[in-house]
Amino acid sequence: MRIFQGIEIPDSLPALFLRRHKALVIADLHIGYEAALREKGIHMPDSSYPLIKRTIDCLLKSTGATQIIILGDLKHEFGKPSAQEWVEVMDLLEFLSVSKKEVHVVRGNHDNLINRILRRYEVTLHERSMLMGTILLAHGDKVFSVPERVRTIITAHEHPAVISRDKSGSRYKFKCFLIGKIGKKRLIVMPALSPLSSGVGINEAERGALLSPLLRETDIDSFVPIVVEEDVGIFKFPSIGAMRQLNSQAESLLR
């Protein structure tokens, strides 16, 4: 599905393809998340990394991308990477190296102490943002400068999702892209690639509770969610404001 000219959602997955640059963009992999949960006493199944790797492989093949941009939070631990993170991050970078892909990482708030491993695989680390023509890419956890020539900003960090309710009151959460504007710039917020990150229900969150300082400056109710469900499709939902009203009406009917 084309969002804007040259910017597409491939294969009903939480990723973007920048056609002019032959660049695949993914975000919020949070490799090693399971290990962090186990340390807290939460039982987790086997690592989700094999699924993440297969998804990236399929996306690279279907798009023909020559470069890949990881838009922050490649790993999960805030501090020193866990043993699981080291093994899985190295495996992913080795896979991308063998695939002859140019790799860029835009630093996210979880991406600490990874400079050495990125240098080993000749991966370019961008501290705040990355500029590709008129497209600016940033993780979104911090404020960043926006050059005048930029037309489109792509961020992550928020793990956006929408919550829908049926007539019985059951709640369903769907990962989504958020499409809107900040000033005169177009803004795309990406969902997390990690299968363990189900996302934050934007249509049930107050603007002040949003994680991204950039999103808190927007009219979030005007944003349009685009839901992605692998093997099902891509669905454009009503605006966040309209969804708030629908959920409010549904709650009133159930009282």
- What single-letter amino acid sits at 8? E
pLDDT exceeds 80 at position 38? no
Number of domain units in the chain: 1
Q: Give Cβ neighbours of residue 4 (< 8 Å, ≥ 6 apart).
A: 152, 186
pLDDT digits (tens, 9 = 90+) for 58-111: 999 999 999 999 999 998 775 666 788 889 999 999 999 999 999 999 998 877
What confidence tier does 43 reach under pLDDT thresholds 50, 70, 90? low
pLDDT of residue 78: 55
pLDDT of residue 254: 55
pLDDT exceeds 90 at position 223? yes
Which structural domain, as residue segments, surrounds residue 219? 2-254
pLDDT digits (tens, 9 = 90+) for 134-181: 999 999 999 899 999 999 999 999 999 999 877 777 888 999 999 999
Lowest mean pLDDT among 85-89, 111-115, 200-204, 213-217: 111-115
Reported in sequence order, the residue ranges of the chain that DSSP labels E, i.e. its strands, are: 2-4, 7-8, 16-18, 23-26, 67-70, 102-106, 124-126, 129-132, 135-138, 152-155, 160-165, 171-182, 185-189, 200-201, 224-229, 233-236
Give the domain CATH number at 49. Answer: 3.60.21
pLDDT of residue 36: 67
pLDDT of residue 137: 99
Residue 199 or 15, more confident: 15
pLDDT of residue 79: 64
Question: Which 8-state DSSP code applies to residue 105?
Answer: E
What sign results for the dihedral spanned by CA atoms 40, 46, 48, 53?
A: positive
Q: Which residue has the tokens 């809107």?
A: 180
